[in-house]
Amino acid sequence: MAPRGIRKKELLRAAELVFAERGYHGATMREITTAARVPLGLSNYYFGSKEKLFEAVLEERQPQLVSLQDDALTELLARNPEPGVEEVIEAYVSAHMSLVRTDEGWRNHFRILYQVAGSDDRDRLGALLFPPHGAVAKRYVAVLSRALPAIEIEAIRRALILVRMLRVSFITESLTGRAHPDIDRLSLDTTPELVRFCAAGFLASVGAEARARARETAKS
């Protein structure tokens, strides 16, 4: 029999796979424990409920995600203390791409994030996902604000949220083939094109905000 720590890890890996394939509501604890080859009661012993197991799956990989994104910006600023918008967006978008190329668990994790983004439970689950990323997002917003001093910080923050949503969607569509027909599915190798697209969309978004604010100022 495997040691307890290993069995708990096996449960997490099996749960990650089953949640990715079936979704939170479609997955059952019996499916998960069967995939992990552990007794059904062991899941209750470690996690207490399916909800707590799902939360543990979400939380497990978040520190590394946050660290990678933080490191990408730190490395960029070391090379160029005043980077342009596209350089910052490239760091923001590309930091996680290496993970999904090499590790099935990471691919499953991003598929789960995609599900959470469209879930009715998003507000509750967001309490688990978004705070750890908050400090890193603020760093990116601050750097982008220096590159775009005429744009309000709130406009930059909203535009970066759009970029984040597109990044998660792109990764997941590339992995699962949700786009139909398959000829429409983009490879992860098209990441440089995604970066250019996100940078252009980001600038268009904040530019629209600036123009609207200028019109309001002119009226008053």
**CA 194 – CA 96 distance, rounded (Å):** 13
Taking the domains of the chain in order of start, what are their residue ranges? 4-58, 61-219
Q: What angle do CA 159, 163, 164 make, to 5 degrees?
A: 115
Q: With 50 as the cut, is the pLDDT of residue 140 above it?
A: yes
Q: 119 phi and psi, to 5 degrees? A: -90, 150
Per residue in 155-175, pLDDT (tens digit) is 999 999 889 888 887 877 766
pLDDT at 210: 64
pLDDT at 165: 84
Per residue in 60-90, pLDDT (tens digit) is 888 888 999 999 999 999 999 999 999 999 9
**CA 110 – CA 112 distance, rounded (Å):** 5
| pTM greater than the 0.95 cutoff | no
Asked, colleague to colleague, whether 4-58 and 61-219 share their fold, the answer is no
Amino acid (one-letter) located at 72: A
* Topology of domain 4-58, CATH: Arc Repressor Mutant, subunit A (1.10.10)
Over pLDDT 90: what percentage of the chain? 43
CATH placement of domain 61-219: 1.10.357.10
pLDDT at 155: 92
